[in-house]
Amino acid sequence: METKPPTPLAVLVGIQTPQVDDVAHEASLEELGRLVKTLGYKVVGAVSQRREGTGAGSVLGSGKLAELAALTGGSGVIGSMAPPPRSKARTRFEGAADAAAPGAPTDPTESEPELDRKPEFVIVDHELSPSQIRNLERATGAQVLDRTGVIVEIFHRHANTREAKLQVEMARLKYVAPRLRESSGGGGRQQGPGAGETNLDLDRRKIRDRLAELKEQLEAVQRDSDHRRSARRDQLRVALVGYTNAGKSSLMRALTGSQVLVEDKLFATLDTTVRILQPETRPRVLVSDTVGFIKQLPHDLVASFRSTLTEALEASLLLFVVDASDPTYEAQLEVSRSVLREIGADAVPSRLVLNKMDRVDDVRRAVLLARHPDAIMLSAHSPGDVSALRDTIIAFFEAEMVEDVLILPYAKQGLIGEVYESARVLSEEYDENGRVLKVRGLPGAITRLRRSLAAS
Ligand SMILES: Nc1nc2c(ncn2[C@@H]2O[C@H](COP(=O)(O)OP(=O)(O)OP(=O)(O)O)[C@@H](O)[C@H]2O)c(=O)[nH]1
Ligand SMILES: [Mg+2]
């Protein structure tokens, strides 16, 4: 019988640079801890140090490095001759890595009680160069991952739809490619230039080929979803966007009565879902739940957001959900804004939604109100608040709608369903040309209806 492998243990490492204040530094490490927990590891300690920058070869100063090594059972020195321990974390990233294995303990025979075990992972809250990773692994004897590596790994494990899976695999390979040189132990380079294709070249070529293949598959999947999206064009659409764990899925559930996943976990949602606002309106409103943002999001993952977020781009209204009970909510808001700017969604009209107000006291509520007079303050857990939000959404669309007259020729009565779906029919009369419909809807939807009624 197989025994359950012990939970891998991890120590966090943070560098506080001069431009980062104590609150932000603490919050960043706490967030890293939650990310690591999402990966299934247990955080057993943290080492942090104030430094000018994060670029030093050993990341930490020698004293702190020794402190860290004492926790992990390493030598505390980088030592140029010692080979770096074999990193399963990296092997996972590089190899044909079986996706079920990540997080597996370093030594399955290990059975000491947790307290006696040394942490097998050192997780650094910054992006590291391959040589920094190698140096830290030598000094600590543990496997080292950086923030980017952790995020890429979470996405890799949580992606559900085919599109998300393809995109995350691309992001992951792009993260791995530049790190290959170090982990192949230099073996690939010893033969020197001109000695034929080295292992390293071979690995790189395999990655390039795989990337090209993925790109092709992704394009096919995207053509498909473009098609589905274009069917939803001109509909009344609102998208919930914002930092991870802000409560987007909770609001989605409350607004649409759907059973989307809600979890006190970072990146619970990785795919966009679209549901109808309940109770249903005419024309109906579609609500999209989207993937959350996080600071220092790896660039290639931003690209993968671009596609899942096309939904948001095409929405007429963005609800910017923020966890108002989080002391660093402003920094989170800024991260979300900049990702949306990057994907070009900053032109879409938006409203700020300060969520989790049930956790905010009156003093703070007054401060928030003064700072964001136009924000919608609510709790996703309060049915009254959610119903008021629904009214706000409906009022927004109502203000955008126009009234017009459409004539449905007798030969085209089959299109009546389409009319009712995209617009509100105010009155119906019959004359010699057909059904005369007075309608109210978004200008784009009415133009589209007129076009399909006129087409022969
Ligand atoms: N107290 C309180 N908790 C809330 C509220 N809204 C959401 N939560 C909790 O916050 C946690 C995260 O909620 P989700 O709805 O999954 O957040 P999300 O924004 O979809 O997160 P990701 O999918 O990870 O990006 C859950 O534990 C929710 O129960 C609220 O208004 N008040
Ligand atoms: Mg969610």
| Residue 292 CA, closest ligand 1 atom number | 25
Q: What is the DSSP string of 211-272?
A: HHHHHHHHHHHHHHHHHHHHHTTTSEEEEEEEBTTSSHHHHHHHHH-------SSTT---S-
Instruction: Report helix angle 147-158 to 162-176, nearest 10.
Output: 150
Q: Please name the residue whose Cα sits nearest to atom 10 of ligand 1.
A: 247
Average pLDDT over residues 403-412: 92
The total of other beta-carbon atoms located within 10 Å of residue 430's CB is 10
User: Is 226 flagged in the annotation as binding?
Assistant: no
Which residues, 6+ apart, have CB-to-CB distance to 401 below 8 Å?
A: 424, 440, 441, 442
Task: Express each pLDDT in 365-390 by its tens digit.
Answer: 999 999 999 999 999 999 999 999 99
Using the mean position of ligand 1's atoms as its centre, give its distance from the Cα of residue 360 in Å. 15
Testing ligand 1's pocket by substitution, the residue of 263, 291, 378 carrying the most ligand atoms inside 8 A of its CB is 263
User: Is 290 flagged in the annotation as binding?
Assistant: yes
User: Is 267 flagged in the annotation as binding?
Assistant: yes
- Ranking 37-46, 91-100, 248-257, 319-328 by mean pLDDT, the lowest is 91-100
The pLDDT of residue 2 is 58
Q: How confident is the model at residue 98 (pLDDT cuts 50, 70, 90)?
A: very low
| Residue 267 CA, closest ligand 1 atom number | 24
| CA-derived radius of gyration, the chain | 27
Residue 243 has pLDDT above 70, yes or no: yes
Q: What percent of the chain has pLDDT over 90?
A: 47
Determine whether the shortest distance from the Cβ of 381 to ligand 1 is under 6 A.
yes
Residue with tokens 């009680």: 113
The total of other beta-carbon atoms located within 10 Å of residue 230's CB is 10
Q: What angle do CA 287, 290, 295 make, to 5 degrees?
A: 145
Residue type, 74: G
Average pLDDT over residues 99-116: 44
Residue 407 and residue 434 in contact, taking contact as beta carbons nearer than 8 Å: yes
- In CATH, the architecture of 233-398 is 3-Layer(aba) Sandwich (3.40)
Determine whether the shortest distance from the Cβ of 249 to ligand 1 is under 6 A.
yes
Among residues 24, 46, 21, 23, the alpha carbon closest in space to that of 123 is found at 46
Q: Please name the residue whose Cα sits nearest to atom 11 of ligand 1.
A: 264
* Mean pLDDT taken over the chain: 83
Higher-pLDDT residue of 268 and 123 is: 123
Distances (CA, A) of 384 to 255, 365, 388, 453: 11, 18, 6, 41
Residue 63 and residue 48 in contact, taking contact as beta carbons nearer than 8 Å: no
Rounded CA separation 367/126 (Å) = 32
CATH top-level class of 9-158: alpha beta
Which residues, 6+ apart, have CB-to-CB distance to 440 below 8 Å?
A: 401, 402, 403, 404, 423, 424, 426
Q: Which ligand is nearest to the CA of 245?
A: 1
Residue type, 442: L
The pLDDT of residue 217 is 92
